[in-house]
Amino acid sequence: MTNSRKRHTPEQVVRKLGQADRMLADGADVAAVCRELGVSEQTYYRWRNQYGGLKADDAKRLKELEKQNATL
């Protein structure tokens, strides 16, 4: 069985969270938003905790710093 998981870049995550915010503001529920974005609710909430208020550039920088810290 192949692993069909897709890794999202920080920029993609921030973009999808923005889409989710717009859909939720229009009255969609979280389950419908997650189906539309192609992610699980667990992934959505994890992204929300990690990247909630960040812009794409900030998210990319955060990932770079986390990677540097891991190598130290």
In order of 18, 27, 31, 64, the CA distances from 60 in angstroms are: 16, 30, 27, 6
Q: What is the rounded CA–CA span in Å between residue 55 and residue 15?
A: 9
Q: Is 19:37 a contact under the CB 8 Å cutoff?
A: yes
Provide the pLDDT for residue 33.
97
Provide the pLDDT for residue 56.
67
Provide the pLDDT for residue 1.
46
**Domain positions in the chain:** 10-71
Provide the pLDDT for residue 23.
95
> Within a 10 A sphere around the Cβ of 51, how many other Cβ atoms?
19
Low-confidence ranges of the chain (pLDDT < 70): 1-4, 54, 56
Regarding pTM above 0.75, the answer is no
Provide the pLDDT for residue 72.
78
Provide the pLDDT for residue 47.
93
- CATH level 2 (architecture), domain 10-71: Orthogonal Bundle (1.10)
